[in-house]
């Protein structure tokens, strides 16, 4: 049976096998055509209108390339055909549960997109297709790969330090935004990947040969630059903060149901919000009238930035702080928005490394003697890219020490 081909601006020709094509044709997967990969970033970078759909198809493509190269190198001995197929399909389906406008809604405390995806993969149309082709246990195994809980040897290709998701989105996002920051040596990384026994458990695991260290460094640099210049750009974060407050208001007023959010496209959710009554924040987003910065403090300048992590993961407390700041400055509720994004690890490291003498050791957060100290760089990059920001509807300045006293009080 001939394979279906897709012309892609990043990877050129992508070929879907018949099973992947059936999954792509499901309603749940087609929704991803209308979920932007970078949320509100298109308000800053007009080319950033690419979707979760092409990213997912690109990840599937990279999984095929990685498997072919591992096979050529003899690294897949003992890895069966079903595990290889399930790995490619996990790459294809890894974002199936993504909310509208990227990750922003997860900061409201609702279920993460992987939990939504788990339900879609293990039940309904997608589960039926997977079970029919690969057996009744396949949906659960694929869902485990996506959540990073699978014992499979190829788990690291889907969720881990070197997962294909990162390689795909960094390259694609940079291309579509028109910036030079996401230039990862993908080819070198794929050629340097291998499957070796974990030094601690003896279980087979995706690892890296020593010649791939420089490519791993390029991944860290690219990720830092993209966070600093694109993902956490001040205007992108202003729009994201406005969107979060808009949806939060609708959820608290019972105009939206949290368990329905994963079924919307971007525009579908905006239409639902529009039909729920007057929404000045929605009108402002559509007209690109973004809130302005009243305060902008890099995390590197804060004594204990982790003490303010609650701004990103405790929505009730963050909302109360926003309204308290508004009141203290003579503004009504909703006129002040706080933003302090979290990325748990800029580059989490847990990779078996094959030394040039054939020995195997693990590259972890403790670093590796004789190599660039990636963990230290990762921490420094994170603190440099991350900023505490206060946004207000109309331009004004807030006094830094007064804001910090209130937030730490």
pLDDT value at residue 175: 95
Token pair 């990059």: residue: 381
β-pair type (193-197, 204-209): antiparallel
pLDDT per residue rounded down to tens, the chain (409 residues): 667 999 999 999 999 999 999 999 999 999 999 999 999 999 999 999 999 999 999 999 999 999 999 999 999 998 999 999 999 999 999 999 999 997 888 888 888 888 999 999 999 999 999 999 999 999 999 999 999 999 999 999 999 888 999 999 999 999 999 999 877 899 999 999 999 998 888 899 999 999 998 888 888 889 889 999 999 999 999 999 999 999 999 999 999 999 999 999 999 999 999 986 678 999 999 999 999 999 999 999 999 999 999 999 899 999 999 999 999 999 999 999 999 998 766 666 778 889 888 888 887 765 555 555 666 777 788 888 899 999 999 999 999 999 999 999 8
Q: Measured on CA atoms in the order 47, 223, 247, 259, is the torsion positive or negative?
A: positive
pLDDT value at residue 344: 62
Query: What does the domain layout of the chain look like in residue ranges?
Result: 4-229
Q: Measured on CA atoms in the order 88, 92, 93, 98, is the torsion positive or negative?
A: positive
β-pair type (204-209, 4-8): unpaired
The CATH superfamily of 4-229 is: Hypothetical protein af1432 (1.10.3210.10)
pLDDT value at residue 107: 83
pLDDT value at residue 372: 57
């Amino acid at each position: 049976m001939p394979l279906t081909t897709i012309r892609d601006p990043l990877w050129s020709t992508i070929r879907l096998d018949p099973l992947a094509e059936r999954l792509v044709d499901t309603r749940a997967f087609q929704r991803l055509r209308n979920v932007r990969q970078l949320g509100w970033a298109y308000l800053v970078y007009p080319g950033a209108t690419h979707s979760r759909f092409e990213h997912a198809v690109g990840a599937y493509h990279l999984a095929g390339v990685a498997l072919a190269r591992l096979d050529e190198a003899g690294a897949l001995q003992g890895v069966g055909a079903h595990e290889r197929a399930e790995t490619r399909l996990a790459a294809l389906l890894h974002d199936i549960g993504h909310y509208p406008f990227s990750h922003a809604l997860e900061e409201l405390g609702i279920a993460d997109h992987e939990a939504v995806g788990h339900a879609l993969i293990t039940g309904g149309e997608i589960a039926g297709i997977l079970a029919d082709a690969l057996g009744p246990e396949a949906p659960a195994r694929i869902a485990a790969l996506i959540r990073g809980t699978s014992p499979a040897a190829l788990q690291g290709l889907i969720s881990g330090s070197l997962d294909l998701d990162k390689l795909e989105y960094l390259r694609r996002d940079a291309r579509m935004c028109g910036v030079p920051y996401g230039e990862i040596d993908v080819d070198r990384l794929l050629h340097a990947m291998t499957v070796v026994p974990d030094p601690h458990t003896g279980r087979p695991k995706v690892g890296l040969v020593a010649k791939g260290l420089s490519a791993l460094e390029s991944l860290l640099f690219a990720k830092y630059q993209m966070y600093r210049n694109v993902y956490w750009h001040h205007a992108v974060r202003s729009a994201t903060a406005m969107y979060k407050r808009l949806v939060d208001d609708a959820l608290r007023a019972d105009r939206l149901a949290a368990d329905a959010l994963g079924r919307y496209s971007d525009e579908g959710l905006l239409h639902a919000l529009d039909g729920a009554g007057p929404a000045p924040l929605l009108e402002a987003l559509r007209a690109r009238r973004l809130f302005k910065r009243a305060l902008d403090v890099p995390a590197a300048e804060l004594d204990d930035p982790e003490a303010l992590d609650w701004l990103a993961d405790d929505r009730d407390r963050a909302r109360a702080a926003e309204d308290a700041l508004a009141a203290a400055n003579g503004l009504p509720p909703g006129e002040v928005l706080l933003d302090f994004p979290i990325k748990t690890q800029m580059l989490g490291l847990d990779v078996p490394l094959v030394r040039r003498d054939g020995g195997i050791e693990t590259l972890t957060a403790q670093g590796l003697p004789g190599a660039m100290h990636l963990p230290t760089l990762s921490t420094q990059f994170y603190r440099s890219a991350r900023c505490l920001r206060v946004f207000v509807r109309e331009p004004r300045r807030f006094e830094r020490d007064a804001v910090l006293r209130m937030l730490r009080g």
